[in-house]
A = this chain, B = another copy of it.
C-alpha cells in the first residue's frame, strides 16, 4: 500500500482525498494544512496536522495547494526518499525540491466547493523525471481514473492553455449571455438546452465542423445588427474579435 501525505486542504485536496478513500493501491495517512477549519473536514478519516514539523514519513507527498504556494509547501516534508508531486497545470516540475523524486499529477478538471466530481472520469496527466517515478504515478492515476496519460512539460503547458480556452473563457461567454438575458428580462434557462447541445455535438462533430452562426456564413448584416444592440464596449470588442476569427477560419473575410 502506497502511503500518501496530502499537503493542502482546498477544493482539490478534498476531491483527491475522497477519490482515494476506497483506493486499494494507496492510502492517505495524513493531511497537512494551515487552515484548521478546512483541516477539520479530514479529522475523522485520517491523521491531520497543522504543523510542518509533524508531517509524517510517507512514500509519496501530494502538494494540492495553489500555484504560488507549491514552492514553499513542497519543502516541508523531510523524508527525501519519497516521491513529491504537485497537481498544477501551469507550474514547472522544477518548482519542487531538487533533492526529491519529483513528479506532476495534473487532474484536468475544474473543482468547485460543494460540487461532487466523479474522479474516474477525470483525465490525469502525469509527468516525472525518470521511469521509476512515472510508473508509480501512472499506477496511482489509473487506480482512481479511467484515463491517466504520461505527458511532457511542454504538453502540460499547452493543455493548461487549452483548458483556459475551453473552460475559463467559455464560462465568461456564458456569463455575458446571462447578462444579456438579464438586461432583457429573459431567464438564462432558455439558453441551457442550446449550451448543452453545443457540447453534446462534440461527440459526433469536431468543433471545426460544428461551427454555425452569422460569422460562419459571412452574414455581415446580422453581425452589424448585433453590434448595434450592445452598449457594453467590452462585449462589442469580444463580439468583433471572435466573429473576425471565425470569418477568417472559414474564408469569409470580406
Q: Answer whether A195 and B167 are a contact pair too, CB < 8 Å, given A159-B184, A225-B157, A246-B172.
A: yes
Q: Answer whether A245 and B241 are a contact pair too, CB < 8 Å, given A110-B212, A166-B195, A202-B174.
A: no
Stoichiometry (number of copies): 2
Nearest CB of chain B from residue A228's CB, rounded to whole Å = 10
> With the chains together, A223 CA to B166 CA distance in Å?
15
> With the chains together, A154 CA to B109 CA distance in Å?
38
Q: Answer whether A186 and B158 are a contact pair too, CB < 8 Å, given A115-B201, A194-B163.
A: yes
**Contact (Cβ within 8 A) A123 B193:** yes
**Can you sample 9 A-B contacts with CB below 8 Å?**
A110-B197, A122-B193, A162-B180, A164-B214, A166-B174, A166-B198, A167-B197, A167-B198, A172-B246
Say whether chain A's binding surface is mostly helix, strand, loop, or mixed.
helix
Q: Answer whether A151 and B110 are a contact pair too, CB < 8 Å, given A161-B226, A167-B194.
A: no
**Contact (Cβ within 8 A) A147 B190:** yes
The listed residue (B114, B161, B193) touching A109 by CB distance below 8 A is: B193
**Contact (Cβ within 8 A) A162 B175:** no
Chain A 175-213 per-residue mask, 1 if CB under 8 angstroms from chain B, else 0: 111101101111010111111111101101111101111
